[in-house]
Amino acid sequence: MKKATVGTQPPSLNRFYSRGQMHIFVCSDRPAVIFSSNGKLVFSNVNLRIVTHVCALNSSSYRNSLVMSDGETIVIGTVDEIQKLHIRTVSLGESVRRVVHQPETSTMAILVSRPLTFEDSDRYSVSKMTTAKSSSKTSAGQRPSVSVDSTDGDVHSIVTLDDNTFEYLHCHELGSCEQALSVISTKLGDDPTTYYIVGTALVYSDETESKNGDQVLVGDLMRSMTILNYKAVESTFEEVAKDFRGMWMSAVEFIDAETALGAEAGHNLFTCEIDRGADNTDEKRRLAEAGMFYLGEMVNVFRRGSLVSSHVDNPLPIEKPILFGTVDGTIGLIVQLPEKYFRFFSEVEKGVARETDNCMRIDHAVYRQFTSEKLVDKAVGFVDGDLVESLLDMPHETAAAALAGIQRPDATEDNSSSPEELMKIIEDMSRIH
């Protein structure tokens, strides 16, 4: 049995045909189309706010069309190629820091920032456009006495948009030196109203006081990564460990206090860790190679976090999720897996690679090997999640062949695992992003 939420109003189901296949149109305050893909039911949202009635229309003027009504107006349209993801581009003209959706009000909030130089320019900016319609500002309040260069820095704003039309509704501009860092949609106590709650920080360019932690991960443009420890009494940095390889770094992030994740200009990812079991002090000061992987795109930012809220019913023991962004606009997710789950997904990865051919007709292990000007080495310590999840869209016979001989992570030698049990684990993994 598969359950899915299709709105808050009683839905009605209507059958129609598109490109020779039968589909179900769900009329509700969140209209959707239900279709079959490889024997599985898939829900695809419709880009209309409310649909109460729908009827097929096929005439000389309107081929393979649908007539939809929200009770007040009628819309005649056609169904594009049905897919799980619909892409619509909305120009903002500013850097987007965070996005959150609020279903109760059918709105979304975005945290944006723009350089102060935009104030005197004609360049398009979503916050300036929204300010002309509805706006508010943070009062000065009590601020520490510091010198601020008013000609430099960014202006941070919270902009709310309609979640269907993307019409700008309101802009709240933060004060000088205040940066928006996080936002959630939630209710407070017994109050039935849903609020947007924004976390901010006051950042001053001439402030010297540290706020959190004493370790710093440094990515050098040409000399890989170094972990430093800040000594507050002496106000100096002490080198803890260093990767002595020549890597042209583009982004770095801590996985934990002794493990670092890095991206370099050759479109590769790698991890290093402090070798506490080394015999001498010099070896302990060396960051040892732990993982290597060719991503195929240049990463320019890492951030701790996830693309979805935590699933309380997801049994997979994933840890320390890290998001990454690339110069091509890709957003990806890296998570840490226990050893038995890492072995399981590695076996699935090899099975899928064995049963399928990629578009370049290159062996998957060769394609994902770490490749730079001075080093070519096989991928280790990483699992290709995209390849593993492609199993969910394969014909049943091909998927069963790829999973042949693979056991569940918690299975014993006496227990065999069916393809359906293994597919369930992969489906759970696909739900984390």
Record: fold of 207-307: Lipocalin (2.40.128)
Residues forming beta bridges with residue 219, ordered by sequence position: 225
Q: Is the pLDDT of residue 142 over 50?
A: no
Segment of 104-118, 138-152, 182-196, 359-373 carrying the highest mean pLDDT? 182-196
Percent of the chain with pLDDT over 90: 24
Question: Which helix (H) or strand (E) covers residue 263, if one does?
Answer: strand 259-264
379 class by beta-carbon count within 10 Å (0-12 exposed, 13-18 middle, 19+ buried): buried
| CA-based nearest residue to 111, from 159, 147, 45 | 159
Share of the chain above pLDDT 70, in %: 86
Q: Exposure string (b/e) for 160-187, b if CB count within 10 Å is 16 or more?
A: bbeeeeeebebbbbbebbbbbeebebee
pLDDT of residue 278: 72
Task: Confirm or reject CATH 1.10.150.910 for domain 337-432, answering yes or no.
Answer: yes
pTM score of the predicted model: 0.59
Residue of 87 and 305 predicted with greater confidence? 305
Q: How far apart are CA 382 and CA 208, in angstroms?
A: 38
Chain position carrying tokens 């006496």: 414
Q: Using the predicted structure, report yes or no on whether residue 141 has a pLDDT greater than 70.
A: no
- Annotated domain spans of the chain: 12-78, 95-138+153-206, 207-307, 337-432
What digits encode the pLDDT tens for the residues 156-183? 999 999 887 788 889 898 888 889 999 9
The β-bridge partners of 229 are 215, 238
